[in-house]
Amino acid sequence: MPSPASRIVILGTGGTIAGQAARADDAVGYTAGALGVQVLIDAVPPLQAVDLEAEQVAQLDSKDMDAATWQRLAQRAAHHLARPEVQGVVVTHGTDTLEETAWFLHRVLAPAKPLVLTAAMRPASALSADGPLNLLDAVTVARHPGAAGVLAVLAGRVQAAADLRKRHATRLDAFAGGDVGPVALVEDGRLRVLRAWPRGEPAGLQAIARDPAAWPWVAVLANHAGADGREVRALLNAGVRGLVVAGTGNGSLSAPLEAALVEAVSDAGVPVVRCSRCADGAVIDPPGAALPSAGERSPWQARVDLLLDLLVQP
């Protein structure tokens, strides 16, 4: 009989890790999410000795991730994490929106047990697919005594959701941990913990209980050479409820774009949060900043934060 709290639940959502191509040497022209999660598990022989349970939550390319899938994934992860026999949950996911889903789950659940996301840069049909080892490493992390929080495991690095950044379009080590680096490393099947497991104050499932079709629209736009206020006014006219702006450098904005965003707040009551286009580094607010910044959060994380803020408003 397995010991209490020894089961690992693997939730499949699709992605490149479940992708399939017509040729084994084709790492770009493949169909993401073609394979079910049980097929992924069966392809990793060491997992056959682990007390596992699998559930297919979705089967999509993560570029098409949506609010309804986020809601269902959070609900199913919370359900399994609450089971006393479950030690941790692993989620197979695509890389395109992995950092957004990880931050969403952290903000909503911030679990005391490990909730580990993993993915792959090459499809399952590739000659040297990275998905099988990433999945094995993710299960290793989920089984580690004391592991906690929302984590992502790729290329042997264990990143906290808050720090996760996709920094390369095709390399196997596409993800990095911002300014602080990984929480842990998986080395030859063993975990070397480098710093504390991530903790947080969860918003709870009640925050996302509303019909996803009715979730407020939060858009991301960017500062760039020649940026003005036309995009802001178009979004306001279309009914946007919140705006995240990826500024240049330290979150800087062109004068006309900043003026239009200030008007969005003062005249339309639409909240605006300022971030940086730069992948690393926090935005430091100068004295008298006209618009608040999201600090060290990426634009995609700031969008999740603003979305949740709007969802819990009466």
Question: Catalytic site residues?
Answer: 16, 95
In angstroms, rounded to a whole number, what is the distance separating the alpha carbons of residues 108 and 111?
9
25 is in an annotated binding site: no
Is 62 labelled a binding residue? yes
Closest CA to 98 of 143, 54, 134: 134
Asked if residue 125 belongs to a known ligand binding site, the reply is no
Element (H, E) at 190: strand 190-193
Residue 50 to residues 97, 164, 216, Cα–Cα distance (Å): 28, 27, 41
The CA–CA distances, whole Å, from 194 to 159, 161, 208, 297 equal: 11, 15, 33, 22
Residues 6+ apart with CB under 8 A from 21: 27, 29, 30, 31, 123, 125, 126
CA distances to 213, 235, 257, 261, 262 from 232, rounded to whole Å, are 23, 5, 8, 7, 10
- Do the strands 190-193 and 184-187 form a parallel or antiparallel pair, or are they unpaired? antiparallel
Q: Give me the DSSP letters along 221-237.
A: EE--TT--SHHHHHHHH
The answer to whether 305 touches 107, Cβ cutoff 8 Å, is yes
- Tokens in use for 309? 């803020």
Residue numbers in the known binding site for substrate are: 62, 95-96
